[in-house]
Structure 1
Amino acid sequence: MSSKSRDNEDNCEGQSALKEELNKKIKEQKVVVDELSNLKKTRKVYIQQTNSNIFFLADRSQTLSASKKELDNMKKDLQDM
């Protein structure tokens, strides 16, 4: 097997692994969006501070719209692969 074809196989396997990881993240994000969509208006939502174990009270509708945007971006990235 030539070096070029081996590199091509490695690249395909790497891209396949990236697609699988992105699909997994998309499924997780869909669950987040569904959970936020089904919350009662009076429920409180907390978001985690990046790289921390601290949570802050957040607006439910803003959190939902941010989660939807993130999901759309993930789907777009998957299509671009």
Structure 2
Amino acid sequence: MSSKLRDNEDSFEGPCALKEELNKKVKSEQKVVVDELSNLKKNRKVFIQQRNSNLFFRVDRGLTLGSCKKELDNMKKDLQDM
């Protein structure tokens, strides 16, 4: 019977842990990226790393800022839905 209680506790902690992790990611990572991209001078070059690779590609600062803001908004929405 105690194992059933532990299973219930684990399933209860799962969503809380996911919410905490998402909250931490929103606060620490995405906000910093958006702020840094927003404060760059217009003539600065921006590079993005290719997934699972050591290659970097030059990208448009405005498009990158827009996609980062969109991702931040999606994370905030997911966080509120939890």
Normalised by the length of structure 1, the TM-score is: 0.89
What letter corresponds to residue 59 of structure 1 in structure 2? D
Map of 1:68 onto structure 2 = 69
Question: Aligned runs of 1:27-38 on 2, under 5 Å?
Answer: 27=27, 28-38=29-39
Runs of 4+ in structure 1 deviating by more than 2 angstroms, as ranges, are: 5-8
SS in 1 for 2:71: helix
Aligned alpha-carbon RMSD (Å): 1.3
Q: Structure 1: 5+ residue runs without aligned partners?
A: none
* CA displacement, residues 32-74 of structure 1 (integer Å, 9 cap, x when unaligned): 0000000000100001111111100000000000000000011
Map of 2:60 onto structure 1 = 59
Question: Aligned runs of 1:1-81 on 2, under 5 Å?
Answer: 3=4, 5-27=5-27, 28-81=29-82
Work out the number of aligned pairs and report it: 80
Percent identity at matched positions?
77
What letter corresponds to residue 36 of structure 1 in structure 2? L
Normalised by the length of structure 2, the TM-score is: 0.88
Q: Structure 2: 5+ residue runs without aligned partners?
A: none
Q: Distance in 1 between matches of 2:48 and 2:71?
A: 15
